[in-house]
Structure 1
Amino acid sequence: MKRGFTILFIELFCVQAFLFLGALLQEYALFCQIMLLFFLALTYRRIYLLARRSLKNAQEEAKFQALQKQEQLQKEQEQLFVSRKQETLAFQQATIRKLQTLQNYLKTNEYNKIQDYLPAITDDFQRERFHPICQDSLINAILADKRFLAMQKNIKVTYEVLLPEKSNIPSSELSSIFFNLLDNGIESCNASGSEAPFISVTSKMSAGFLAVHMKNSKDPAQPFNHKTSKKDIPNHGFGLSIIEDICAKNDGSCQWIDNGDTFDSVVMLRYQ
Structure 2
Amino acid sequence: MREKQRFSPAFALALGAVVLASCALFLFCYRADNKYTAPRPVSEPGMTRIDMAWYDAHPFFYLVDGWEFYRDALSPGEFEGRQPDAHLYLGRYGGFDLGDPSANPHGCATYRTVLETDEIQRDYALELTEIYSRWRLWVNGRLVQSVGMGEENPPAPADSLAVFSASGGIEIVAQVWDDGHFYSGMVYPPAFGSPQAVGRVAALRLLFHGAACALALLTALLCVLAWLRYRFHRPYPALALLCLCFCGSAAWPLFQALGGRGQGWTVAERVCYYGSFLALVVIQGRICRVPKPVFWPACGLGAAVCAAVALQPLFPVSTAGPLMFYASCLGAYKWFTAAWLLGASVWGLCRGAEYSKPLLAGGCVFSCALVLDKLLPLHEPILLGWFVEMAGGVLLGLVAGIAWYDTVRVYRESTELQQQKALQEVRLEAWGRQARLQREYVHRTREQLHESRHRLTLVRHYLEAGELGKLSAYLEEITPQVTRGAPVEYTGNGLVDAILGVEFSLAEQGGVYVEYDCGRLPEPLFVADDDLTSVLMNVLENAVEGCGRLADPGERWLFFRLCLAGGSLTLECRNSAPPGTEDRTSKRDRRAHGFGLSILRGIAQRYDGELSAGRREDAYETVLTLYGGETEG
Compared CA separation, residues 186 and 115, structure 1 to 2 (3 A): same
| Distance (whole Å) between structure 2 residues aligned to residue 257 and residue 77 of structure 1 | 26
* Alignment pair present for 1:6 and 2:240: yes
* Alignment pair present for 1:215 and 2:449: no
- 2:558 aligned residue: 199
Equivalent positions of 1:131-210 (< 5 A) are 132=488, 134-136=490-492, 138=494, 139-164=496-521, 166-169=522-525, 173=529, 176=533, 177-187=535-545, 189-190=547-548, 193-195=549-551, 196-210=555-569
| Distance (whole Å) between structure 2 residues aligned to residue 266 and residue 205 of structure 1 | 12
Shift of 1:39: 4.7
Aligned counterpart for 1:17 among listed residues 251, 273, 276: 251
- 1:34 aligned residue: 385
* Alignment pair present for 1:63 and 2:413: no
- 1:224 aligned residue: 584
Where 1:200 maps in the other structure, the secondary structure is strand
| Distance (whole Å) between structure 2 residues aligned to residue 175 and residue 121 of structure 1 | 43
Shift of 1:159: 1.3
Shift of 1:22: 9.4
Shift of 1:98: 4.0
Shift of 1:187: 4.4
Shift of 1:194: 3.8
Query: Which of 1 and 2 has greater Rg?
Result: 2
* Alignment pair present for 1:253 and 2:612: no
- Look up the equivalent residue of 2:488 and give its one-letter code: P
Report if the CA contact (8 A) 1:256-1:264 is conserved.
yes
Compared CA separation, residues 74 and 168, structure 1 to 2 (3 A): closer
RMSD across aligned C-alpha pairs, in angstroms? Answer: 4.3
**Structure 1: unaligned runs, 5 residues or longer:** none
- Look up the equivalent residue of 2:570 and give its one-letter code: A
Report if the CA contact (8 A) 2:569-2:626 is conserved.
yes
- 2:426 aligned residue: 73
Compared CA separation, residues 149 and 12, structure 1 to 2 (3 A): farther
Q: Sequence identity of aligned pairs in percent?
A: 12
Deviation sequence 1:57-102 (CA, Å, 0-9, x none): 2211112102211321231122122112112213322332343233
TM-score, normalised relative to structure 1: 0.71
Equivalent positions of 1:49-128 (< 5 A) are 49-109=402-462, 111-125=468-482, 128=484
Report if the CA contact (8 A) 1:11-1:43 is conserved.
no
Compared CA separation, residues 29 and 172, structure 1 to 2 (3 A): closer
Shift of 1:201: 1.3
Report if the CA contact (8 A) 1:157-1:198 is conserved.
yes
Report if the CA contact (8 A) 2:583-2:613 is conserved.
no
Compared CA separation, residues 188 and 128, structure 1 to 2 (3 A): same
| Distance (whole Å) between structure 2 residues aligned to residue 146 and residue 92 of structure 1 | 24
Report if the CA contact (8 A) 2:512-2:556 is conserved.
yes
- Look up the equivalent residue of 2:626 and give its one-letter code: M
- 2:152 aligned residue: none
- 1:264 aligned residue: 622
Report if the CA contact (8 A) 1:184-1:239 is conserved.
no
Report if the CA contact (8 A) 2:612-2:622 is conserved.
yes
Where 1:128 maps in the other structure, the secondary structure is coil
- Look up the equivalent residue of 1:20 and give its one-letter code: L
- Look up the equivalent residue of 2:573 and give its one-letter code: M
- Look up the equivalent residue of 1:266 and give its one-letter code: L
| Distance (whole Å) between structure 1 residues aligned to residue 608 and residue 398 of structure 2 | 39
Shift of 1:49: 1.9
* Alignment pair present for 1:45 and 2:279: no
| Distance (whole Å) between structure 1 residues aligned to residue 395 and residue 256 of structure 2 | 18
Where 1:163 maps in the other structure, the secondary structure is coil
Deviation sequence 1:232-265 (CA, Å, 0-9, x none): 77xx9699759966994xx563526344983514
Shift of 1:207: 1.0
| Distance (whole Å) between structure 2 residues aligned to residue 81 and residue 188 of structure 1 | 25
Where 1:33 maps in the other structure, the secondary structure is coil
| Distance (whole Å) between structure 2 residues aligned to residue 230 and residue 94 of structure 1 | 48
| Distance (whole Å) between structure 1 residues aligned to residue 597 and residue 453 of structure 2 | 47
- Look up the equivalent residue of 1:59 and give its one-letter code: R
| Distance (whole Å) between structure 2 residues aligned to residue 132 and residue 114 of structure 1 | 33
Structure 1 or 2: larger helix share?
1
The structure whose RCO (Cα within 8 Å, separation 6+) is larger is 1
| Distance (whole Å) between structure 1 residues aligned to residue 454 and residue 590 of structure 2 | 51
- Look up the equivalent residue of 2:385 and give its one-letter code: I
Where 2:381 maps in the other structure, the secondary structure is helix
| Distance (whole Å) between structure 1 residues aligned to residue 627 and residue 563 of structure 2 | 11
Shift of 1:162: 1.3
Shift of 1:52: 0.3
Report if the CA contact (8 A) 1:155-1:197 is conserved.
yes
